[in-house]
Structure 1
Amino acid sequence: MALSPASRPPLADEVTAKLRAMVQSGEWSLNQRIPSETELMAGLGVSRGTLREATKALAHSGILEVRRGDGTYVRATSEISGAARRMYQDHTEEHILEVRLALDTQAARLAARNATADDVTALRGLLASRDQAWSGEDYGAWARADWEFHERVAQASGNPLLHELYASFGAAFHQDLLRQQRRPGFDGRPHEGHDLLVDAIERRDAEAAVATVNRNLNSCAEWLAA
């Protein structure tokens, strides 16, 4: 049944929901600049004022970032990710790593129970991409593949809330990887928490999965403390 005028949500709320859906569906990817106001006004059939109200709402929630004179960019895929992204700016790398340790170990444990054959294939493919990018000194691609690997483990956990929380680490994780890459002697292809993790997930060995994640993150903690 159609909504009556009295019960229909404000137009700006409808536009906000449409823009949010475009982000969450992957139509606009993380860090991508979204179409111009003119394009969006024409595509959505709304006024500039309504569009700006919707954009402002999503910028306030952390999903979008408006850069004056440059455009509007996707900064998070949900309100929870946007809020987490802002919170990370107020905490140390050590604090972030400690939270990651809790999420990574639980994701590994659940992935060993719930991952599908397609998940395992995807994880091995991401590691192959990571290794190829590292060998070719394409460190941006290397960092993206490494992050996508860890996020896919969280997705394979079968817990959508854990996956969403983990995905909120994207920006901080990516920056940390690029800092590590500049460290003399750093190896961007560690087996701990990566190849050995996939092996454990494939064997359905939750304890081995958790153990290799712990060893990997402990080495990260040692690097931060150095």
Structure 2
Amino acid sequence: MLKKIQKGSLVETAIESLRHAIETEQWLVGDKLPVESDLSEALGVSRNTVREAVRVLAHVGMLETRQGDGTYVRATRDAGETLKRIARTQLTDQLEVRIMLETEAAKLAAQRRTEQDLRSMTMALDARGKADANLEARIHHDEAFHHALVAASHNSALAELYDYFSHAITQTIERTENDADLPEPSQEDHELLLAAVRRQDSVKAEKLAQNLLAPSLKALRK
């Protein structure tokens, strides 16, 4: 049941009310929303406010407006909101997911990498090594290496998921680089991983990727 809106930004509150209704499956994927006038009455706001809220949720992919037909639920999750929630999770949770993604990526990269993939990973890793004391540059090139590794998996779904999760990935890199209490993956650790991918040793690459952040994860769990 939709709750009438009392105060605050009417459009933002209408968006939140509709999003909550969709996320809690008051309407399922494929369901048609009530007409604009009914939503307006249920929320206690104008039809213009409802129209703008629906437009925003359609933009983020939760709703789909079909001309002359109505508005339908397209997805039960707002990708942008999900990303914000990920950013608020514990660092241990983020590291666990990052390890899972990069471990699978390393295994697939060892099986599927091309010469161009190897060049991209090598350039990023060489730049990471040369950055030395320049922390910002080292983080940038570290990110570039891991994105190149994932791209070398040639799995578009994995690459999209990794890109989507990249903000949390950046946070883990910055934290491990800045926090003296967290062991930092060395340049040599990265070089060994690249070498395994280069010689197409998927078992070794998978293990090395898994071990890359394991010490940081262990330190966080203490």
**Unaligned stretches of 5+ residues in structure 2:** 1-51, 62-76
Return the letter of the residue paired with 1:86.
Answer: K
Q: What's 1:206 paired with?
A: 202
Query: How far has the Cα of 1:218 moved from its partner?
Result: 0.9
Structure 2 CA distance for aligned equivalents of residues 83 and 116 of structure 1? 36
Preserved contact between residue 196 and residue 212 of structure 1 (Cα < 8 Å): yes
When residues 155 and 204 of structure 1 are mapped into structure 2, their CA distance, relative to the original with a 3 A threshold, is: same
Structure 1 CA distance for aligned equivalents of residues 121 and 141 of structure 2? 10
Q: What's 2:161 paired with?
A: 165
When residues 164 and 209 of structure 1 are mapped into structure 2, their CA distance, relative to the original with a 3 A threshold, is: same
- RMSD (Å) for aligned C-alpha atoms: 2.8
Q: What's 1:189 paired with?
A: 186
Structure 2 CA distance for aligned equivalents of residues 141 and 173 of structure 1? 16
Report 1:62-141 matches (<5 A): 82-133=80-131, 135=132, 137-141=133-137
Report 1:174-185 matches (<5 A): 174-184=170-180
Alignment coverage as a number of residue pairs: 153
Mean Cα deviation higher: 140-149 or 171-180: 171-180
Structure 2 CA distance for aligned equivalents of residues 131 and 80 of structure 1? 39
**Unaligned stretches of 5+ residues in structure 1:** 1-52, 63-78
Q: Deviations over 1:118-171 (max 9, x none)?
A: 1111111101111111x2x22111111101111111111010110010112222
When residues 126 and 80 of structure 1 are mapped into structure 2, their CA distance, relative to the original with a 3 A threshold, is: farther
When residues 173 and 195 of structure 1 are mapped into structure 2, their CA distance, relative to the original with a 3 A threshold, is: same
User: Is 1:156 paired with 2:152?
Assistant: yes
When residues 81 and 223 of structure 1 are mapped into structure 2, their CA distance, relative to the original with a 3 A threshold, is: farther
Secondary structure, aligned partner of 1:191: helix
Preserved contact between residue 200 and residue 208 of structure 1 (Cα < 8 Å): yes
Q: What's 1:219 paired with?
A: 215
Return structure 1 stretches of 4+ with deviation > 6 angstroms: none
Q: Deviations over 1:57-116 (max 9, x none)?
A: 49x749xxxxxxxxxxxxxxxx98745522313421111222222211110111011110
Larger Rg: 2
Preserved contact between residue 81 and residue 167 of structure 1 (Cα < 8 Å): no
Give me the identity figure in percent.
Answer: 30
Query: Could you state the TM-score of these two structures normalised by the residue count of structure 1?
Result: 0.59
Query: Could you state the TM-score of these two structures normalised by the residue count of structure 2?
Result: 0.60
